Amino acid sequence: MVTDRTAAWLHGIDMLTMSEHDVLPPIETCALRGRNPTHRPEADGRSRDLAPSDVVDVAGIQVTSPQRTALDLGCNLRRREAFAAMTCLARLHGFSAADLGRELPRFRGRRGVIQCRQLVALVDARIESPREAWVWLQLYDEGLPMPEPQWWIEVDGIPTYRLDFAYVNARVCVEYDGAEFHDQTVGQRADDDERRTWLRDNGWTVIVVKRGDFAGAGLARWTGELRAALAPSYSNRRW
């Protein structure tokens, strides 16, 4: 059976690194426990316990199901990449954190299950891209309140502007601005600028996270801006 990142790719989610698109990694596969995994040089063969419901047919190929693939990657990948894969699979294939949680008891004792268990609780199928999933996970790690994903702003009763993440009552939003989406065309950039100008003119604080803002000074900048924007403006002190 095809497993892990290769299975994710067959299910419509690309979790390869940029360099792996030039030199493709081995196809990830497994044999059922007790059978011999493949030793072909183009494949990474493992053994794994699988229930019949864990395997689906994709164009004639036996592949771990989207839910099983999400759980396997939650155990096997680095934390950010694991969460991005789980979230994107949930969105594309219509399952929830609760659906994943019901399968977790079968993974007891497996390497990586502690990470997977924590990530399952955070999965939200409304999140639209891998880097948006990184933002969501970073908000959790920073101990910040969790916002509403994909929140629509209505203008004259018409849904007009959709925000990546919104703190609705505080009128604060967090937007991921990645080259893979927002920088594709001049028109998209103009749309983003128009939207963010409207938001600021109408009392919203817009926090923009860019591709390199998940470590160091970039991370400190946007999380600091967000903490300041969410800080209470009211005090009952009289001096």
Q: Could you give the strand order of the β-sheet that contains 148-155, starting from the edge strand earlier in sequence?
A: 148-155, 158-167, 172-177, 205-210
Residues 48 and 145 in one domain: no
163-172: pLDDT as tens digits: 999 999 999 9
Backbone angles phi, psi at 190, to 5 degrees: -65, -40
Residues 100 and 161 in one domain: no
Instruction: Tell me which residue range forms the domain holding 106.
Output: 4-125
Q: What is the DSSP letter of 2?
A: B
Residues 182 and 100 in one domain: no
Question: What distances in angstroms separate CA 41 from CA 25, 26, 29, 173, 200, one per listed residue?
Answer: 11, 8, 12, 48, 56
The pLDDT of residue 237: 66
Q: How many domains does the chain have?
A: 2
Is the residue at 235 inside a domain?
Answer: no
150-201: pLDDT as tens digits: 999 999 999 999 999 999 999 999 999 875 544 556 777 788 888 899 999 9
Q: Which of 89, 178, 93 shows the shortest CA–CA distance to 132?
A: 178
Number of residues that this document lists for the chain: 239
Contact 209, 176 (CB under 8 A): yes
Alpha-carbon distance of 214 to 220, in angstroms, equals: 9
The pLDDT of residue 193: 86
The pLDDT of residue 205: 97
47-105: pLDDT as tens digits: 899 999 999 999 999 999 999 999 999 999 999 999 999 999 999 999 999 999 999 99
Is the residue at 142 inside a domain?
Answer: yes
Residues 117 and 90 in one domain: yes
Alpha-carbon distance of 30 to 4, in angstroms, equals: 9
Q: What is the mean pLDDT of residues 29-43?
A: 88
Alpha-carbon distance of 158 to 9, in angstroms, equals: 36
Domain's final residue, options 125, 160, 187: 125
Residues 164 and 90 in one domain: no
Count CB atoms within 10 A of the CB of residue 119: 28
Residues 69 and 90 in one domain: yes
Residues 10 and 102 in one domain: yes
CATH number at residue 189: 3.40.960
Domain's final residue, options 82, 103, 125: 125
Is the residue at 239 inside a domain?
Answer: no
Domain's final residue, options 74, 103, 125: 125
Alpha-carbon distance of 12 to 105, in angstroms, equals: 27
Which amino acid, one-letter code, is at 170? A
Is the residue at 179 inside a domain?
Answer: yes
C-alpha dihedral over 176, 73, 13, 47, to 10 degrees? 170
Residues 165 and 119 in one domain: no
Rg (CA), the chain: 21
The pLDDT of residue 20: 86
Element (H or E) spanning 3, and its range? none
Contact 95, 69 (CB under 8 A): no
Give DSSP secondary structure letters for 9-49. Answer: HHTT-----TGGGTSPPPEEEEEETTSPPP--TTEEEEEE-
Alpha-carbon distance of 162 to 182, in angstroms, equals: 14
Is the residue at 170 inside a domain?
Answer: yes
Is the residue at 90 inside a domain?
Answer: yes
Is the residue at 237 inside a domain?
Answer: no
Residues 174 and 213 in one domain: yes
Is the residue at 25 inside a domain?
Answer: yes
Residues 89 and 152 in one domain: no
Residues 33 and 104 in one domain: yes
Residues 121 and 174 in one domain: no
pTM of the model: 0.90
CA angle 223, 208, 81 (to 5 degrees): 75
